[in-house]
Amino acid sequence: MSKELEALRKKILKNCRCDIKCLEYDNLLKALTPPTEDEVCEALSEYSNKKVYYENGKFEVGKYEPSICYLQEDNIVWFNWFKLPPHIITMIGRFYEGKKNE
């Protein structure tokens, strides 16, 4: 991905005014970078009104409640919560995709 980002950065730098270049590159980089576990936990916490944490590859709300979701060995995300908004499901998918590529 870094070669692609570098090529994109060069294209932006070549074609844009200086004050716009950094803003566009930063926005593109942010859009292409997978969310962190903290960002996913924050989104899940806001949605559920419960403190969510990431531990042992799972998003959890407590020891005695089922995990919200986790990545199975076959690279399938298993959801125990069946009511999540699409933007959070996408965020979780991008998070695990980023973990897989580390």
| pLDDT tens sequence across 34-85 | 999 999 999 999 999 999 999 989 999 988 888 999 998 888 899 997 789 9
pLDDT at position 100, please?
A: 76
Q: What does DSSP say about strands 69-71 and 58-60: parallel, antiparallel, or unpaired?
A: antiparallel
pLDDT at 26 over 80: no
pLDDT at position 90, please?
A: 93
pLDDT at 20 over 70: no
What does the pLDDT average to over 8-12? 69
Q: Which pLDDT band, with edges at 50, 70 and 90, does 30 fall under?
A: confident
Residue 5's alpha-carbon distances to 11, 12, 14, 25, in angstroms, are 10, 10, 14, 9
pLDDT at 21 over 60: no
Pick left, alpha or beta for residue 56 (phi over 0 → left; psi -120 to 50 → alpha; otherwise beta).
left
Reduced to 3 states (helix: H, G, I; strand: E, B; else coil), residue 97 is: helix
Predicted model pTM: 0.71
**Token match 């580390």: residue?**
102
What does the pLDDT average to over 81-101? 88
